[in-house]
Structure 1
Amino acid sequence: MFRIKNLFLLMAFGPGLVWAIDLQPNDIVAPLPNKNYITVSYLNTENNTLYKNGAAEAGSPVIDTQSAIFRGTRTYDMGNLPAASFIQLPYGSINPKGSLANQASDTGVGDLTFATAIWPYSNRSTRTYFGLAAYLISPTGSYSSQRSFNVGENRFRTDLQMGFQTPITSNVDGMIAVDTMWFGGNSQCGLACTRSLTTTASLNQKPLTTTQLGPIYRINQIFTVAASYFYVAGGATSINNSYQNNVVNTQRFLLSGQAHTPIGRFSLQYGRDMEIKNGFVQTRVLAVRLAKEF
């Protein structure tokens, strides 16, 4: 039977949510200034078997999440450098099933994200770009200490990311990006940390670093495909200053396709975990997006 004492792994690692700041094909390409974009995304994920230090725990947990994500982006010049800022708000649900079916689900607004990116180096003639980005994720989402599964995390998060993209062949570019996420504390971690509806604990988490890399193939003026490999490390948690020995060590992949149409840019992504040390393994992530200039 699945043991509820391990639910703190869910609180810390957020199954169904992307740990890294996942990049789509050509996100590292510097944008043209004075443009406005609206992006609407739908994400569907499934997580199941819980792993603890590389060993699968007993039980058959299933965690389904669905999210609609709305993003508004503005591009501009910062001095002589290309730059962009966006604000992003998700709305979604998280539903425990299987051996977690007795746990409450949650539906509501997620955590609001603010981000700004700048490109210290941008050369369109050689298709070579180097960008830096900073993210602030605020605790605006639905949260209750009496639920183990919440859409929001009830803590601030910040992330710094750098990315580099350059040609490999005439139609193929290579990209690599590294980001580190820092976590604020959650002093109201209840059922997920204490197994109690009336008692709360303080949850803290070490920084989490993700490396993502892969090729981007431009088929023609309309279609682009890409493949990305991710390695995620760090992120161990403490509950009331008690170390939980649950370092993240995850490898996963993500396949992407894009189509540039008169309606806008359609994107489709599919991925899953390949190897995991701690947490609920992600067996599916499916993302559909439409980005449109206005």
Structure 2
Amino acid sequence: MHYIRSALLALTLTHALTAWAVDLQPNDIVAPPPNKNFITVSYYNTENSTFYSNGAVNSKTSFASPVIDTQSAILRGARTYTLADLPAVSYIQLPYGSVRPAGSLSSAPTDTGFGDLVLATAIWPYANKATRTYVGVGGYLIAPMGSYSSGQAFNLAENRFRTDLQIGFQTPIVGGIDGMIAVDTMWFGGNSQCAAACNSTSDNVSLTQKPLTTTQLGPIYRINEIFTVGASYIYAVGGATSINNTYMNNVVNTQRFLLSGQAHTPIGRFSLQYGRDMEIKNGFIQTRVLAVRLMKDF
């Protein structure tokens, strides 16, 4: 049972991290025009399956055919402005959805409700539209305001504060192709009510986690005035956890890819992203991530 709980903990920590905030879309590093309001509505779906422990597949008992499906509708409101004569944007984001264990994990309860609230601000220390060269810095605060039950291993929220600092760079490579690279590090507050996921019958088990660093890079190609496509390679490392100061030896070491497409229409900007894990060290591998978004300015 301890091994099962540890495995579930690996998923609930790493799965939620890949679902919110730091994955970039094409041209997210491009500085926006000031004094604009944006509303973005998104559908986000992920599926996780085979469980890995230190790089090896485990298929015993509950891990014989695990499936974890997460679906969310995400509402984001953003405002652009200038800060000390620099381009800037702030947004607030709130998800609502469900996480459903299935297959050999079907005995675990489903969670439905709101996810954690995300507040973010980004500024551009350097933005040159003529040369298509940009440097952006963003900060995120994820507040524990979502659905969480200490008696469940799978939750939409994490019952802890998280902060993230990200820096991104984008510049032309050749013709209409730009290259982008972004690096961010997430820091985690403690969760003093980690019960089911931490193999405890008490709510007073303390969960802590080391910082997680993610690097993403890839090309962006503007086909014409309407269509843009992009591809990203994403590498995440760190994020090992401790329960009551006992080290769990579950370092995140994940490689992923993400394919993106955008269409600028009179209705708004439609975005489609698809990806999956290529290689992981610990946790349930993500076999699908699908995001569909509509962003409208007003």
Deviation by residue 1:74-120 (Cα, 9 ceiling, x = unmatched) = 00000110000000000010000011100001000110000000000
The 5-angstrom pairing of residues 1-294 of structure 1 reads: 3-14=4-15, 17-18=18-19, 21-58=22-59, 59-196=64-201, 198-294=202-298
Q: Which amino acid in structure 2 is aligned with residue 266 of structure 1?
A: F
Structure 1 residue runs without a partner (length 5+):
none
Q: CA deviation at 1:126?
A: 0.3
Structure 2 residue runs without a partner (length 5+):
none
Secondary structure of the corresponding residue to residue 100 of structure 1: coil
Could you tell me whether the CA contact under 8 Å between 2:38 and 2:296 is conserved in 1?
yes
Q: CA deviation at 1:18?
A: 2.7
Q: Which amino acid in structure 1 is aligned with residue 125 of structure 2?
A: P
Q: CA deviation at 1:5?
A: 4.1
Secondary structure of the corresponding residue to residue 66 of structure 1: strand
Secondary structure of the corresponding residue to residue 150 of structure 1: coil
Q: CA deviation at 1:20?
A: 6.5
Could you tell me whether the CA contact under 8 Å between 2:16 and 2:156 is conserved in 1?
no
CA distance in 2, matches of 1:159, 1:15: 14
Q: Which amino acid in structure 2 is aligned with residue 273 of structure 1?
A: D
Shift of the 240–166 alpha-carbon distance from structure 1 to 2, 3 Å rule, reads same
Q: CA deviation at 1:195?
A: 4.6
Could you tell me whether the CA contact under 8 Å between 1:16 and 1:63 is conserved in 2?
no
Could you tell me whether the CA contact under 8 Å between 2:272 and 2:290 is conserved in 1?
yes
CA distance in 1, matches of 2:84, 2:38: 21
Q: TM-score, normalised by structure 2?
A: 0.96
Q: CA deviation at 1:145?
A: 0.5
Could you tell me whether the CA contact under 8 Å between 1:256 and 1:270 is conserved in 2?
yes
CA distance in 2, matches of 1:255, 1:12: 24
Shift of the 52–261 alpha-carbon distance from structure 1 to 2, 3 Å rule, reads same
Give the number of aligned pairs. Answer: 293
Deviation by residue 1:143-164 (Cα, 9 ceiling, x = unmatched) = 0001010011000000000000
Q: CA deviation at 1:170?
A: 1.9
CA distance in 2, matches of 1:15, 1:80: 35
Aligned Cα root-mean-square deviation (Å) = 1.4
Q: CA deviation at 1:10?
A: 2.0
Q: CA deviation at 1:199?
A: 4.9
> Structure 1 vs Structure 2: percent identity of aligned residues?
71
Secondary structure of the corresponding residue to residue 192 of structure 1: helix
Could you tell me whether the CA contact under 8 Å between 2:192 and 2:203 is conserved in 1?
no
Q: TM-score, normalised by structure 1?
A: 0.97
Could you tell me whether the CA contact under 8 Å between 1:16 and 1:282 is conserved in 2?
no
Secondary structure of the corresponding residue to residue 68 of structure 2: strand
Could you tell me whether the CA contact under 8 Å between 2:232 and 2:259 is conserved in 1?
yes
